[in-house]
Chains A and B, each alone.
Chain A
Amino acid sequence: MKNTIKFMIGLAAVGLVSCEPEFDTPVDEGFYDNGDADFSTYVAVGNSLTAGYADSALYISGQENSYPNIMATQFTFVGGGEFTQPLMSDNLGGLFLNGTEVAGNRLVLSNDENGNPFPTTLEGVGTTEITTSATGPFNNMGVPGAKSFHLVAPGYGDAGGVLSGTANPYYARFATSSSATVISDAVSLNPTFFSLWIGNNDILSYATSGGSGVDQTGNLDPSTYGSNDITDPNVFAAAYSAQVDALTSGGAKGALVNIPNITSIPYFTTVPARSIPLDAATAGALNAQFGQYNTQVLPGLVQFGVITAEEAASRTINFVEGVNFPIIVDTDLTDVSGVLQGPPLNLPPATAMLLGQLRQANSSDLVVLPASSVLGSTPDPSNPQGVVGVSIPLANQFVLTSVEQERVSVAAQSYNATIQALAAANDLAFVDARSALADVAAGGVAIDGGVLTSTYVTGGAFSLDGVHPTARGYAFTTNAIIEAINKKYNATVPTVAPGSFPSVTLENNVN
């Protein structure tokens, strides 16, 4: 009896092992092909997009869905090794330097008591401290906020330079030394494969600030640039070329990702240019107030040769019954505030300043997302007549005009030409993220379980900051990169199902 039981237990143990089902071709045993590439040590270099930044912050669950982390997971099927990331300390996102907050918490989609959704900053005190939270280098060398030339700038990770603006708070967390560069830290990992996606911020901050910076084309010294400036294409090319040289110095193969059209992101497409509803009486009263400006001031300025007739036409104000374009400040207009204060008009300074670079917006202007909380507001509670967009012009930072869009577009085209040329010259995979994301913006792309579009909040592709993708958007991008890699290196890295990745996070702050 005892022996029989022992026998049965033994049989059972054998059964446990022998009955494990085996596929004819198991996906985790050589099913996929690495082709001509070696994915064993993958290093990703870039900016916020590479870091997994979303919802105006860097936080753990976003980082876990960064495109490099998704790619690294798929690379494990073709010999990919460990992939480390400088994970934040929490899912709030707030970043602190010696106890002082230098970056705020993430946005979440909240709702009011009527169930109307709105994005809001998640409450709570972040726990990520720059000076203690991470020790680099990491396989994910994505640094939110980095421009092309920052990656090769010594001192960009010096915590001492964060408050003065010479260093980056995110890189300061994990730079191997205060003099290290992002690219040198990346190269120190001896990558066998890399991805490089940089350059977006070289135009993005100019665009998101409504063209508040300067187009630095022609200025070859980036140390003189302001944070919202457009980087000179030659500065970009030199920095980018140096990065490719450094990353390929050990024989690594890799993928270069180009820069998407940033003016099609929800940050620029959500708030309509025409947004001021007026009844006939109000429109008439407003037109009466601008009557003298339209019929005497503007023709006068043309007559004196201060502005062209064409500019005068663009500056003419006309409100109608219905939804109107707001009045805006356009810094590319001739500043006539001085002229207006002099003879013969002798306008009071306040009026002259108001009219100095004033025009009504038109359908080619892009109004940025943050303008939604400003348009139609009355900043001075004691003056109900002072309405932004109607009697107070929408500030320059809220509008990306067609002239400004053109500067962004010209620079982006130049950067992308450089990226594509360097990919060809170095025999690297070229990822056309621009056209992939253009498809999302132009009506959407069918994915498993629906259509991915650029519509703010509901489109699925973009997070609540209107600039950075959601995890689903990152997964879609990942597939574009993997497909380019497979094509270039004759590999068969499996793609992912974007629909299985989350979009925006719902959460009400607990008050």
Chain B
Amino acid sequence: MKKVLLLTVFALVTAVTYAGGYRISLQGNKAMAMGHTGVAVVNSSELVFFNPAGLVYLENRLNVSVGAHGVFADIAYQNEATGENAMTESLIGTPFYAYVSYQATDWLALALGVYTPYGSGVSYEDDWAGSHLVNNIDLQAIFIQPTVSIKLSEYFSIGGGPIYAIGSVNFNRNLNRTLTDVNGERAEVTLDETGVTKWGWTASAMFNPTDKLRIGATYRSKIILEVEEGEATFDNIPNSDLTPFQDTTFAARLPLPAEMTVGLSYEVTDKLLFAFDFNRAFWNEYESLNIDFANEDIPDSVNARNYENASTYRFGLQYAATETFTLRAGYYFDESPVQAGRFAPETPRNDSDGYSAGLTFNVGSRFEIDASFLYLHFDEVDASYDAYFENGNAVPFEGTYKSSAFIPGLGVTYKL
């Protein structure tokens, strides 16, 4: 059963997920409905991601949560000086999650989680104004996390586990703004690699000072995906010894940054729960995207990123309205790791506001249907990427960006 399930969800990851930073905070429909809070919320096996320590406090012996989100995101670009404008293709990405936890003894729960916390998918029209920076990118990372949760007392528990990350990347851009073949077709490079793997880990704790208040903390380590022999394919290269480009392999490092979360939940009434999460993502790991081509004649591609650590503030409410329905709502403010002058169109992310809502429909006592939706609002922003050079001259890529995302999600919870 699990095998079949895994195959199905893997197939779901067809193309792309929403690009922002490239951290995708969509790790559970119940949590998402509450502004993606959950480090101190004990209501399902979504805790495998949010706070493994909390799993031992679940009421049932077996808890399963499976779901996915449909990401509808667009980025609009325009340059008022030239009139150049672009709109990314409205891509449908499907980040998913599957968590199973099993209460082995009174003090020990074992669990397994599969989820997709990082990914990016942006597809501009080929040869658009910023095509020398990106035509399209598809980045995916699947995390597989065996988990233990240990109750030290009614008040305190710890949890964690190793993470096995599987990544893939496909990236296409034009080589520069002007090189073409003899027919005027723009020269481009495609970088492709799948099945990059790396281990990481997560550790967490939960503290329940009263029967209404929970406090949680979770740390997830950084994982640096290292591509060693990816495929670099060059197209529309003129037949000339004056250009060095030909198909080769490439090496690159892509950091999936560490993230620290602390937060709390408080039962305001029997029916109403308030939750707050604070995330700190350690993006300063991402200084530069360097593509090292194996063919030494081909100049390496150095793309400054200079991301900085960024915080997210999340607020959520859960209201058990009836026996059948539980309603949720949330808000978060997401600070962008992208700095001025480093606004690259492959992840054109400025600060955003997320508004979420959702509900759970109880079908009998064991089976729940979880739905959520998220609207992500970005302010219009004038920005530039200043670290692109031609023959030693900086050629900033400037313009106005406006992004938005609408993300419905659907999942099921099974309890035994």
Contact = CB atoms under 8 A, between A and B. Distances in A.
Interface stretch (A19-27, A291-299, A356-364): A19-27
Given A27-B78, A74-B83, A499-B395, A21 B403 contact: yes
B238 A507 contact: yes
A285 B286 CA distance: 72
A109 B242 contact: yes
B333 interface: no
A4 B369 contact: yes
A19 B87 CA distance: 12
B180 A505 contact: yes
B90 A20 contact: yes
B86 to A, nearest CB: 11
Q: A-side binding surface: helix, strand, loop or mixed?
A: loop
A23 B400 contact: yes
B83 A15 contact: no
B324 interface: no
Interface residues of B, number: 51
B246 to A, nearest CB: 14
A11 B242 contact: no
Given A115-B242, A508-B241, A21 B81 contact: no
A11 B178 CA distance: 43
Given A115-B242, A448-B395, A449-B390, A21 B177 contact: no
A61 interface: yes
Contacts of A501: 178
Contact of B239 (A26, A115, A507): A507
A329 B153 CA distance: 107
A323 interface: no
B72 interface: yes
A23 B380 contact: yes
A220 to B, nearest CB: 44
Contact of A8 (B182, B240, B393, B408): B408
Contacts of A27: 78-80, 83-85
Interface string B161-192: 00000000000000001111111100000000
A450 B393 contact: yes
A506 B404 CA distance: 42
B371 A4 contact: yes
A21 B76 contact: yes
B243 interface: yes
Contacts of B87: 20-21
A108 interface: yes
Interface in A1-45: 1, 4-5, 8, 11-12, 15-16, 18-24, 26-28, 31-32
Contacts of A506: 238, 240, 242-243
Given A20-B74, A74-B83, A503-B178, A64 B184 contact: yes
Interface in B388-416: 390-391, 393, 395, 400, 402-406, 408, 410
A495 B82 CA distance: 5
B179 A502 contact: yes
A31 B241 CA distance: 45
B242 A494 contact: no
B240 A449 contact: no
Contact of A109 (B76, B240, B363): B240
Contacts of B378: 21
Contacts of A28: 78, 83, 85
A133 interface: no
A497 B398 CA distance: 12
B410 A8 contact: yes
A500 B406 contact: no
B72 A450 contact: no
A223 B58 CA distance: 100
Contacts of B225: none
A60 interface: yes
Interface string A109-147: 111000101000010000000000000000000000000
Interface string A282-308: 000000000000000000000000000
Interface centre among A5, A28, A502, A510 (most CB of B within 10 A): A502
B30 to A, nearest CB: 16
Contact of B406 (A15, A109, A496): A15
Contact of A505 (B83, B238, B406): B238
Interface string B349-387: 000000000000101000001010101001010000000
Contacts of A11: 373, 408
A509 B363 CA distance: 72
B70 interface: yes
Contacts of B369: 1, 4
B243 A12 contact: no
Contacts of B129: 500
B141 interface: no
A472 interface: yes
A19 B390 contact: no
A108 B243 CA distance: 14
The 3 A-B residue pairs with the shortest CB-CB distance, nearest first, are A61-B184, A15-B406, A506-B240
11 contacts: A12-B70, A15-B408, A20-B404, A21-B403, A22-B76, A61-B180, A91-B183, A115-B241, A494-B81, A495-B81, A502-B179
